A and B are shown apart, each in its own frame.
Chain A
Amino acid sequence: MSQILDAYRGLKLRDRMSGAPGWVRKVGMLLVIAFAFYLPFLNILPFAYIRTDLTSSGSDWASVLFLVVVYMIVAVGLNVVIGFAGLLDLGYVGFYALGAYSVALFGSPSSPVVEAIQNRFGLDETWAVPFVMCIPIAIVMALIAGVTLGAPTLRLRGDYLAIVTLGFGEIIRITARNLDNVTNGATGISGVPVPPGPEIDGRSFFNTIDAERWYWLALSILILIIFLAFRLEHSRVGRAWLAIREDEDAAAIMGVAAFKFKLWAFAIGASVGGIAGLLFGSKQQYVEPNAFMVNLSFLFVAMVVIGGSGNIYGVLLGAFLLTYLPERFREFQEWRPFAFGVALVVVMILRPQGLVPSRRRAREFEDRKVEAEEAAADA
């Protein structure tokens, strides 16, 4: 029954979309983007009910939107690793933390690293690496971490890789907590720089009050990353990932250097995670190890899997639901983890391929099911 519904709902909208002429799709896309930019000001009933600040205990609407978009960036990045290349990475929070810590360590005038540089070169106490320079630093740090983690571990398959990456995420957090003279340990680092911008009303453009500006910035970056991810999916590299995911041995037999492409997926995924972490750290203007607990890794994986591994629209939806819903229903406090657990189980039973599955992934699921049934019949 559920499968019939899938076939009906999942495919219908998509077929209609891909059947529409090019300009209709473009206009539709622009409308969606325009609406996304307008969201912080949404105040028309009944749509305003989606806002999270309707009650006094609610969270700031624009800040929630910002977090949703940051996690969408995470989901798109993790989707490259899990969805495209088929590698289960349970330590993605490590790259996210690295991005946040990079901008904090090099950009904050009060970080031990910057202080060391100040002393070494006799620089002013307010000197720090400018924010714009922190972006490439964060990306490169995450990229290096991705390659360092990937090079020895990507020879492992499936569950083994998952366990090693799980350890990696924790190593990053524990190192950040214990390396007192580099990261300030559990105290964390304050004074994380914000992006440059014109001063308005005596405040810098990106400040702690006007969260919608952060949201717009993150949204712009998200759109760019989505665009790049689509290009990547349909490139030669994307085809290699697809082949590896479907059958690694067969891919190797067809001349795909599997290890190289898996490492690429890891590195690209890592740097996108780094960018998301950078945005998060910069908006908080404060970075501490407890913000990067291992449960965040699970949340990230859940976004990808629930949304529809391998489908960019799917993982965006997954990130939205898992970030937005808990914020919207804050008044149910302690019931939220329970609801999350139930929702996860329900989705895995009814739609194991995710809410908006990738067609290919759905087919791979079918194929594996048939294989398992044949194996069971043989035995």
Chain B
Amino acid sequence: MLLEMKDAVLSYGKIEALHGISLEVAEGEIVALIGANGAGKTSTMRGLSGVRGLASGSVVFDGEDVTKLRADQRLRKGLVLCPEGRGIFPGMTVTENLNMGAYTRKDKEAIEQDYERVFGLFPRLLERKKQVAGTMSGGEQQMLAIGRALMSRPKLLMLDEPSMGLAPMLIQQIFDIISEIAQQGTTILVVEQNAKQALSRADRAYVLETGHIVKSGTGVELLDDPTVREAYLGVA
């Protein structure tokens, strides 16, 4: 397993957001985590990326226990989070944001290649190279956030709600790009409210409800599951 989270408990003060979550991601997979608002999706991401420490439980990445490591240390191991919404640096330009993605790297030539890769995936960012990120549209900011995460050469890319606040056509486009990134050899864990897109792209998926994992299976299985269909796909 590339990533293994075991019995993770995460709390904010007295409020427990995750009550013992276990999940796994194997190398080369696309794994989706779906759930409604407040189910604990973003909390799971915070616990995995190290933005917030776990109260108990463990995170093992690439055969190494990273539970006690801070977010910046986990990034250096290749465990990279692309945060939701406005997780970009609003006062920096597109280029400066991408530079921040490569902050820990020193291999200049490989960084150049990664710029080209990112601009290849998101031609829009190339057009807006010098634009201040905070002034871009929601979709462009999302592309930038993904591009920035790619600049740190992740082994596992965790995407937190990449479709949030985007128009349906853009959602389609973003998910196409996510599939493409996966094909290029990056393992992906994606957290989504848009269950239909996420499940149809994922190899496997977990369903999160109020801090518990209530179901897991392959993407296709869950797409056909009657309770999932009712709760998340809006079909009775």
Contacts and interface: CB of A to CB of B under 8 A. Distances in A.
Interface of A: 239-240, 242-243, 246-247, 249-258, 360-361, 363-364, 366-367, 370-371
A305 to B, nearest CB: 18
A247 B75 contact: no
B72 A255 contact: yes
Contacts of B124: none
Most-contacted residue by chain B among A360, A361, A366 (CB, 10 A): A360
A71 B199 CA distance: 61
29 contacts: A239-B99, A243-B92, A246-B89, A246-B92, A247-B87, A249-B51, A249-B71, A250-B83, A250-B88, A252-B51, A252-B70, A253-B81, A254-B72, A254-B101, A254-B103, A254-B104, A254-B152, A255-B76, A257-B70, A257-B73, A258-B72, A363-B134, A364-B90, A364-B91, A364-B134, A366-B134, A367-B86, A367-B134, A370-B134
B163 interface: no
Contacts of B100: 239, 243, 251, 254, 256
B49 interface: yes
Contacts of A243: 89, 92, 100, 103
B132 interface: yes
Interface string B62-80: 0000000011110110001
Contacts of A254: 72, 75, 100-101, 103-104, 148, 152
A378 to B, nearest CB: 12
A254 B49 CA distance: 10
A276 to B, nearest CB: 29
A371 B86 contact: yes
A250 B88 CA distance: 7
Chain B, interface size category, equals 20 to 34
A253 B103 contact: no
Contacts of B76: 255
Given A239-B99, A243-B100, A363-B134, A253 B91 contact: no
A337 to B, nearest CB: 35
B107 to A, nearest CB: 14
A372 to B, nearest CB: 12
Interface of B: 49-51, 70-73, 75-76, 80-81, 83, 86-92, 99-101, 103-104, 132, 134-135, 148, 152
B70 A249 contact: no
A239 B104 CA distance: 12
B103 A255 contact: yes
A363 B101 CA distance: 21
Nearest to A252: B71
A363 B103 contact: no
Nearest to A260: B72
Nearest to A240: B103
B72 A367 contact: no
B83 A246 contact: no
A371 B89 CA distance: 13
A155 B152 CA distance: 26
B83 A249 contact: yes
Most-contacted residue by chain A among B50, B75, B88, B89 (CB, 10 A): B89
Nearest to A246: B89
B92 A360 contact: yes
Contacts of A250: 83, 87-89
B19 to A, nearest CB: 23
Contacts of A367: 86, 90-91, 134
Contacts of A253: 49, 51, 71-72, 75, 80-81, 83, 87
A296 to B, nearest CB: 31
Nearest to A365: B91
Given A250-B88, A367-B91, A256 B134 contact: no
Contact of B152 (A242, A249, A255, A371): A255
Given A243-B103, A254-B72, A255-B75, 10 more contacts: A242-B91, A243-B89, A247-B87, A249-B83, A250-B87, A252-B51, A254-B148, A360-B91, A367-B134, A371-B86
The 8 closest A-B pairs by CB, nearest first: A255-B104, A252-B71, A367-B90, A360-B91, A255-B75, A367-B134, A363-B91, A246-B89
A332 to B, nearest CB: 40
B155 to A, nearest CB: 14
A256 B103 contact: yes
B188 to A, nearest CB: 16
Most-contacted residue by chain B among A239, A252, A254, A371 (CB, 10 A): A254
Contacts of B90: 246-247, 363-364, 367
A363 B134 CA distance: 8
A239 B83 contact: no
A246 B132 CA distance: 13
A256 B80 CA distance: 13
B92 A252 contact: no
A263 to B, nearest CB: 14
Contacts of A255: 72, 75-76, 103-104, 152
